[in-house]
Amino acid sequence: MIVFGIDPGLNATGYGVIERSGNRLTPLDLGVIRSGSGELPERLARIFTALGEKLDEWTPEIVGIEDIFTGKNYRGALLLGHARGAAILAVARRGTPLHQYPAAVVKQAVVGNGRAAKEQGNYMVRRLLQLPDDKIASDAADALSIAICTVFRNEGIGMMSLSGSR
């Protein structure tokens, strides 16, 4: 099963692709889409197009995306919502099932603590996917976390089954 994770952002949208085979998770692709400068519609089009190309390349069976959160910066939340909308539309146009998760749910699934620090999530992603200790872009690591969470939440496997038999 190919699972695609998206960490939406207007400046940087992270994506991560993993494959689940039995109780094994294998990273296939990860990266960050940068919308660059320009007017908002142009930047959203770049996100939509680039994500669409990656979705076409990997044809995932399921996609996970981080749910919107609100903070004290309402303008930032609104811009994030626009980027998230472009990402959701890219997935919807392909008819791929999409699941949305709050950040705390993703952290709980990957780290075991919904209030874990970003660094803990990045560390666990590297361990679970057996990636080298090299620095992974934060947005890409977050997207891989979302993909891992999507597997755990939709396949009924837990953290322990990764190392044991199912």
Q: Which distant-in-sequence residues (6+ apart) come within 8 Å of 63 by Cβ?
A: 3, 4, 5, 6, 55, 91, 96, 97, 98, 99, 150
Tell me which residues are annotated as active site: 7, 66, 139
Question: Is-contact 83 93, C-beta < 8 A?
Answer: no
Query: φ, ψ for residue 136 (rounded to 5)?
Result: -105, 135
β-bridge partners, 1: none
The CA distance from 68 to 77, in Å, is 8
